Amino acid sequence: MTFKRSYWGDVLVTLHLPRAACFYSFIIIGTFLSPVIHWDRLVLSLLATFCFLQLTAYAVDELKGRHCGTTIPDKHYRYRAIIGLIGAWAIAIYLGVIINYTMFILSVFGAFMILGYNYEVLGLHSRLVFMFSWSFFPLVSNYYLHSLLVPTLTVIIWGVVAMVFAYLHIISYGNFSCKVSTCKDKPRDDCHGNLCEIRRYGITRETHRLQRKIANYEVLMLLVLTLVVIISHYGW
């Protein structure tokens, strides 16, 4: 038995809020590891991430195979991806101008890794790339965004911790390289997570409940880690 979502329900699902919350947590951790915090840069970094990751990257990912079983027209996803891309690059250029050109280089590299993973090109659709681009890179790059210093050993260690968390995320959600086309006609998936029970017009209630349960635990764990870093920054 499957359930159908509304248009805005589909939009909400394709924003992947729990996974994006993890990404935002890594940004905040990297920020508060810095000895200096620029609040305007933090806001711009979070906004650029929303534009590029949630508007563009996730729209492109859904266009590739309707992994979430949405029924939103393709052109709407294309408009969303373009708007997100414009917003993200505008922020990247601005930061590159007011800080230094390194910020623009970091933005291009991060965008390349994320889109490369979603498009599954150049061998970039792998666990290692996901762990690096979704956790280590945003943490370390945001440390640099505020401090303009070479990452310290402490920052690198936190980056590795973030990669471990990303690996646990992969284990929880199953094999990310699983193609929906291989699962949509099967009552159970072959992707080690019971998360490919995707039908042409929706997903099973069992899968939906499992996804929410896993997501809640992940967000809670990252929230605790983020609070620890913030408290340590202020020496409370």
Average pLDDT, integer, range 179-191: 40
Average pLDDT, integer, range 93-97: 93
pLDDT at 228: 84
pLDDT at 184: 43
Cα–Cα dist 49/45, whole Å: 6
How far, CA to CA in Å, does 87 sit from each of 39, 81, 233? 19, 10, 30
User: What mean pLDDT is reported for the chain?
Assistant: 80
Reported as a single tens digit per residue, the pLDDT across 191-210 is 333 334 344 334 555 665 66
User: DSSP code of 196?
Assistant: -
pLDDT at 205: 59
Reported as a single tens digit per residue, the pLDDT across 48-66 is 999 999 999 899 888 887 7
The helix (H) or strand (E) run that includes residue 224 is helix 205-234
Strand ranges in the chain using DSSP code E only, listed in sequence order: 2-3, 198-199, 202-204
Name the residue among 18, 56, 13 with its Cα closest to residue 203.
Answer: 13
Q: Name the pLDDT band for 68 (thresholds 50, 70, 90).
A: confident
pLDDT at 207: 61
Task: Provide the CB-side half-sphere exposure for 30 (13 A, CA).
Answer: 32
116: tokens are: 């490369």
Q: What is the pTM of this model?
A: 0.80
Sheet containing strand 198-199, strands side by side:
2-3, 202-204, 198-199
Nearby residues of 148 by Cβ (< 8 Å), 6 or more positions away: 99, 100
pLDDT at 157: 95
User: Cα torsion for 107, 42, 33, 113, to the nearest 10°?
Assistant: -20
The residue with greater pLDDT, 178 or 113, is 113
pLDDT at 64: 80
Please provide the size of the chain in residues: 236
Cα–Cα dist 51/86, whole Å: 8
Q: Name the pLDDT band for 30 (thresholds 50, 70, 90).
A: very high
Residue 84 confidence (pLDDT) above 90:
yes
The residue with greater pLDDT, 46 or 195, is 46
Average pLDDT, integer, range 9-22: 86
Q: Name the pLDDT band for 172 (thresholds 50, 70, 90).
A: low
pLDDT at 136: 95
